[in-house]
């Protein structure tokens, strides 16, 4: 329950902070939009209430006595015409309020855009800003309307107020207990959030309806029309609250993508899911196989019932490749068993080979073959893995190149598998970090393949983006960002004093295989050199980083010259910049407090 309360508090804290920022930017537009939306809701309720009275009058010989006293003395036919005309007028007022609300939304959303772009980017900004503005107004007016209905119930029907508040409390408590006992339901609730909210809204309305019926049958009531009005108001209250909750879920889920656009930062994806369909086209396109000037090495055949891979290729062509790469690796058995074919990315093939005859110990290998384009890319990995002595990488046994094509042979295992537990990922990252601290990359690779390091990426442009994003957050976060952005060279100079070490950004679950019980990363072509400490998995904690580095420092004079705070700084700064690079600014800002404290500790 504590976790649920903390999560709700975090969402409401962010929402209140953003609404406060919105009110400061466009106070008049926000207040008028809320007023117009509330008037539209009231006009809609009355416009649908009056036709009910008209139908009752049409079925009666006179004006029923349970009508309000003001209407009882009016002639029946005249009252029918009057109520019908008022109903039409109120519905037209409802439509007019909606039109005014849309116009105010367009005007108010323009104030959200801090740095207008040009062309299609500006159109995207306006669409996102208007969607965000309307969502906030829906949440605010829904909350005010629900509060007004509760006050109405407190004045005219205290029993019903107790029932409604009790229903809200029961839903929260029962939901917290159920999710605590059955945590697996949480994922289903999140994925089906809209349906769950609609179901709870309908159940709440049915409860109110049942209580009203019971009161009319067995208790004292204040009048039929007051009961009808109460029922309509409660129906609208539950409906508006459901809309508000769904809008909160949508806004909070898209907060980073939306806010960076409102701040004038470029973005490649869209705010609304229905707008991003074109971006997903071709995402599931299967990878192609090898190609070259002389035709495909292996013909692609994916129809059901295709024969094994060895029957699909030209034995004379492929067996020569396999014999040569096995001979280069010093494997005597050149007639391997090809167990399966894995299609990797486009231009890449992977074969699982088993070598070993009768009475011999079987050896297992992974053979990866690349076309000309991919061969150039993976040559970076081959140059690194050849001298790499660590256990975090799959061992590279041999590399051959022919006519621009390349074949890499790796040591493999019989029961090689990809892990599903994220803890295996952290173990592999920790192992890679330990090995990078104790192994210096050869100067040949250092000079030829170094890309922009963390020192150059933590530049004033990064802090400018952070400041643009932080304008929509709470005051403490804005203060932290402004404090660090005021002296950007402070972090850069501290990171620049650290030695560079190997870092592989491709150590992810999809790239890890468990070989003989040890997790190892297969792809290494995107490796970089970063300040020591970069890439440490923060999920394992900074205290564990201190322990690991202290042990490593005992056997290295270079590491002994560094302080724990320097390594901590690199780990925090790298995680901060990595989160900013993938636009996870809220997660990045959660590290600012520790980053500032570490910098202060270094200065003392």
How far are the Cα atoms of 11, 253, 534 from residue 259, in angstroms, in the given order?
A: 15, 11, 28
- pLDDT bin (cut points 50, 70, 90) of residue 318 is low
What pTM was estimated for this model as a whole? 0.59
Q: What mean pLDDT comes out for the span 447-472?
A: 77
Match domain 422-603 to its CATH number in 3.10.20, 3.30.379, 1.10.3470, 3.90.1200: 3.90.1200
Which carries the bigger pLDDT value, residue 189 or residue 69? 189
What pLDDT sits at residue 72?
67
pLDDT in tens, 372-414: 888 888 888 898 898 888 889 999 999 988 777 888 999 998 8
528 C-beta neighbours (distance < 10 Å), count? 18
What pLDDT sits at residue 280?
25
- pLDDT bin (cut points 50, 70, 90) of residue 167 is very high
Burial annotation 548-572 (CB, 10 A radius, 16+ → b, else e): bbeebbeeeeebeebebbbbbbbbb
CB 356 within 8 A of CB 333: yes
Percent of the chain having pLDDT more than 70? 80
What pLDDT sits at residue 294?
35
pLDDT in tens, 82-136: 888 988 998 899 899 888 888 888 887 777 765 555 556 667 677 777 788 888 8
Domain segments of the chain as ranges: 1-64+72-113+125-262, 309-411, 422-603
- By the 10 Å C-beta count (0-12 exposed, 13-18 middle, 19+ buried), 131 is classed as buried
- pLDDT bin (cut points 50, 70, 90) of residue 543 is very high
Question: For the structural domain made of 309-411, what CATH number should be given?
Answer: 3.30.200.20
Q: What mean pLDDT comes out for the span 306-315?
A: 41
54-58, 220-224, 281-285, 478-482, range with greatest mean pLDDT: 478-482
**Terminal Cα-to-Cα distance of the chain (whole angstroms):** 42
Q: Of 509, 505, 555, 558, whose CA–CA distance to 532 is shortest?
A: 558
Average pLDDT value for the chain? 79
pLDDT in tens, 569-582: 999 999 999 998 88
């Amino acid at each position: 329950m504590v976790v649920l309360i903390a999560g709700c508090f975090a969402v409401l804290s962010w929402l209140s902070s953003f609404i406060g920022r919105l009110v400061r930017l466009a106070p008049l537009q926000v207040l008028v939009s809320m007023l117009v939306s509330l008037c539209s809701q009231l006009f809609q309720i009355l416009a649908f209430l009056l036709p009910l009275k008209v139908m009752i009058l049409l079925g009666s010989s006179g004006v029923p006595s349970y009508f309000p006293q003001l209407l009882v003395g009016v002639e029946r036919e005249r009252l029918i015409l009057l109520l019908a005309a008022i109903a039409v007028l109120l519905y037209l007022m409802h439509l007019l309020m909606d039109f005014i609300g849309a116009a105010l939304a367009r005007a108010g959303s323009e104030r959200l855009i801090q740095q207008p772009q040009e062309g299609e980017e500006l159109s995207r900004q306006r669409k996102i800003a208007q969607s965000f503005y309307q969502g906030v107004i829906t949440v605010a007016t829904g909350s005010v309307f629900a509060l007004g209905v509760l006050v109405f119930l407190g004045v005219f029907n205290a029993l019903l107020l107790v029932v409604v508040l009790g229903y809200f409390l029961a839903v929260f408590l029962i939901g917290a207990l159920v999710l605590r006992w059955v945590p697996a339901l949480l994922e289903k609730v999140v994925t089906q959030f809209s349906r769950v909210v609609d179901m709870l809204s309908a159940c709440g309305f049915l409860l109110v309806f049942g209580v009203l019926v019971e009161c009319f049958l067995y208790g004292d009531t204040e009048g039929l029309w007051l009961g009808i009005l109460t029922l309509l108001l409660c129906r609208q209250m539950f409906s508006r609250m459901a809309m508000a909750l769904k809008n909160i879920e949508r806004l909070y889920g898209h907060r980073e993508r939306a806010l960076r656009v409102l701040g004038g930062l470029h973005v490649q994806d869209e705010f609304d899911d229905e707008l991003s369909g074109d971006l997903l086209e071709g995402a599931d396109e299967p990878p192609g196989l090898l190609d070259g000037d002389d035709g495909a090495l292996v013909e692609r055949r994916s129809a059901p019932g295709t024969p094994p891979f060895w029957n699909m290729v030209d034995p004379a062509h492929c067996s020569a490749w396999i014999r040569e790469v096995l001979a280069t690796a010093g494997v005597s058995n050149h007639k391997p068993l090809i167990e399966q074919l894995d299609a990797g990315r486009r231009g890449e093939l992977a074969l699982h080979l088993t070598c070993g005859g009768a009475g011999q110990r079987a050896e297992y290998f992974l053979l990866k073959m690349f076309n000309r384009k991919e061969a150039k890319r993976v040559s970076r990995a081959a140059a690194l893995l050849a001298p790499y002595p660590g256990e975090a990488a799959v061992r590279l046994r041999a590399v051959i190149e022919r006519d621009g094509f390349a074949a890499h042979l790796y040591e493999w295992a019989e029961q090689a598998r990809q892990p599903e537990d994220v803890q295996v990922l952290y173990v592999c990252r920790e192992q890679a970090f330990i090995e990078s601290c104790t192994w210096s990359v050869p100067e040949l690779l250092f000079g030829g393949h170094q890309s922009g390091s963390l020192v150059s990426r933590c530049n004033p442009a990064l802090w400018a983006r952070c400041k643009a994003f932080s304008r929509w957050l709470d005051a403490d976060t804005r203060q932290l960002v402004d404090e660090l952005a005021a002296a950007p060279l402070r972090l850069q100079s501290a990171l620049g004093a650290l030695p560079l070490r190997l870092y592989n950004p491709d150590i992810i679950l999809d790239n890890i295989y468990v070989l003989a019980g040890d997790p190892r990363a297969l792809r290494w072509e995107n490796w970089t050199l970063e300040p020591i400490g970069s890439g440490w998995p923060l999920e394992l904690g900074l205290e564990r980083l201190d322990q690991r580095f202290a042990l490593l420092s005992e056997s290295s004079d270079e590491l002994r010259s560094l302080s724990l705070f320097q390594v901590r700084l690199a780990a925090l700064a790298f995680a901060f910049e990595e989160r900013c690079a993938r636009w996870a600014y809220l997660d990045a800002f959660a590290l600012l407090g520790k980053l500032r404290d570490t910098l202060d500790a270094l200065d003392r």
